[in-house]
Amino acid sequence: MISCFTPRKVRRLNIGDVFFGESEFILGREVEDKIEVGVTEEQCIKEERIVEKIATKGKLFTVPRIRKTNISNIDESRKNATWVVVDTKHLDSIELIHSTLPASDLVTAKRLVDGELTETIEFYTSGIYENTISKEFEIIGKYN
């Protein structure tokens, strides 16, 4: 059930917030049972080192090479879908030896289709991660 109210724009999403999709949701990469959105095409290429064995003229050669696999998941309907925030995690900034890792917010949301929560996406709203979408989101209601 969705409690509707006058839409408002926020930078920080909370559990239960209902919002519309964004154009950054179209391209994603599959990681475990969710899709990381807010990534680029280059970030969807997975590189893996392999060793090929080639036999020629009675000799066996091993040749190292890199195999590139495209793990992208493209879905145009994500930008027009309605999403519900199911989990948020705030990670405080961390002092490293030579730098500081800034604070970040991780959002996990599920697509709302006919009252059912389906596909899961994940992205950061702040920080320096690959799948960061730093913008205001229009909240249209609360999911109960």
Domain ranges of the chain: 2-40+73-143, 45-71
Q: What is the pLDDT of residue 138?
A: 92
pTM: 0.80
Q: What is the pLDDT of residue 64?
A: 94
**DSSP letter assigned to residue 77:** G
Show Cβ contacts of residue 18 under 8 Å, excluding neighbours closer than 6 positions: 2, 82, 83, 84, 85, 112, 139, 140, 141, 142, 143
**Residue-wise pLDDT tens for the chain (144 aa)?**
677 778 899 988 999 999 999 999 999 999 989 999 999 999 999 999 999 999 988 899 999 999 999 999 999 999 999 999 999 998 888 787 887 777 889 999 999 998 899 999 999 998 888 899 999 999 999 987
Both ends of the chain: CA-CA distance in Å?
5
For tokens 């059912």, name the residue.
116
Q: What is the pLDDT of residue 1?
A: 67
Query: Which of 95, 86, 75, 69 has the alpha carbon at shortest distance from 122?
Result: 86
Per DSSP, what are the bridge partners of residue 137?
A: 10
